[in-house]
């Protein structure tokens, strides 16, 4: 008889446990929450918030490339520092304080609140270094000193969904953003535009690279058990979605179910 029908194995995670995992990550793996381009990597004094050095010696940040300016290679890139200060998650229920227009939360949704600090260093053309336009080199010898911007905070609310897709013998854990709202960005028209564009870019260019392939996991017991044992292998695979979605996101709980297949010698 299955331990938790309609699957043979059951996994559940509530947001309180997830919050403790995030606290441990912040203390032991700060590089998962702090990102900076080369300029900020070499200038820790310019970080919005100092990053405590973890006792395990893990790196403080993840290095990311600078943002290339569209106008051409001779113009320096835009430098950026992003620090995630707070991350709250609610599985199937709003425990993060979503804005009213994002409620009620649709079924199979994860509510997320992210608070970040950002800082940019933007190149500025020095007009005194311009050349003559007739030579075609008006920008050839121009200089672009970096201008360090002030830190600013952004609070972002998102609703997300996850699903397990059966693709032949393998399965994939898929993610997608449903909505994004940045409540402290004004005016409303600009906020709506940025929110919709962010959802489109994330869902089509960023999130698919984070999908997780789940090949069936085979546990070979032939060497651990005597030859007379009735079991040779155990294969663990995600249960195909039925009337109950898998994973099931509801009641402040993220639940997943797996099937077991046992082979005899």
Residue by residue, pLDDT tens for the chain (265 residues) are 344 556 778 888 888 888 888 888 888 999 989 999 999 999 999 999 999 999 899 999 999 998 887 665 677 889 999 999 888 899 999 999 999 989 999 999 999 999 999 999 999 989 998 888 876 677 778 888 999 999 988 899 999 998 888 888 788 889 899 999 988 777 888 888 888 888 987 888 778 888 888 888 888 888 788 877 888 888 888 876 666 788 889 888 888 888 888 888 7
Q: Note the pLDDT of residue 229.
A: 80
Angstrom distance (rounded) from CA 132 to CA 145: 20
User: The tokens of 205 are what?
Assistant: 């260019």
All structural domains of the chain with their residue ranges? 9-263
Q: What three-state secondary structure class fits 22?
A: helix
Angstrom distance (rounded) from CA 19 to CA 255: 16
Nearest CA to 239 out of 51, 59, 3, 5 is that of: 5
CB atoms within 10 A of CB 237: 21
Q: Note the pLDDT of residue 2.
A: 45
Q: Enumerate the β-bridge partners of residue 161.
A: 176
Between the alpha carbon of residue 88 and those of residues 35, 110, 156, 191, the distances in Å are: 19, 10, 11, 22
């Amino acid at each position: 008889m299955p331990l938790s029908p309609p699957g043979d194995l059951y996994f559940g995670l509530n947001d309180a446990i997830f919050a403790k995992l995030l606290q441990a990550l912040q203390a032991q793996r700060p590089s998962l929450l702090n990102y900076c381009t080369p300029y900020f990597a070499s200038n820790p004094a310019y970080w919005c918030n100092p990053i405590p050095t973890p006792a395990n010696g893990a790196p403080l940040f993840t290095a990311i490339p600078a943002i290339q300016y569209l106008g051409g290679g001779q113009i320096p890139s835009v430098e950026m520092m992003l620090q995630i200060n707070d991350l709250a998650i609610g599985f199937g229920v709003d425990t993060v304080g979503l804005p009213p227009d994002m409620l009620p939360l649709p079924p199979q949704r994860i509510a997320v609140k992210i608070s970040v600090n950002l800082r940019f260093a933007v190149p500025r053309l020095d007009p005194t270094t311009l050349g003559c336009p007739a030579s075609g080199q008006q920008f050839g010898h121009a200089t672009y000193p970096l201008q360090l911007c002030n830190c600013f905070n952004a609070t972002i609310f998102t609703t997300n969904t996850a699903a397990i897709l059966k693709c032949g013998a393998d399965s994939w854990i898929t993610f997608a953003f449903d909505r994004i709202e940045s409540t402290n960005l004004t005016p409303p028209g600009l906020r709506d535009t940025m929110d919709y564009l962010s959802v489109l870019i994330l869902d089509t260019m960023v999130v698919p690279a984070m999908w997780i392939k789940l090949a069936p996991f085979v546990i070979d017991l032939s060497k651990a058990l005597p030859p007379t044992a009735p079991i040779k292998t155990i294969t663990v695979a995600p249960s195909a979605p039925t009337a109950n979605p898998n994973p099931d996101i509801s009641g402040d709980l993220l639940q997943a179910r797996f099937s077991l297949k046992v082979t005899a010698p």
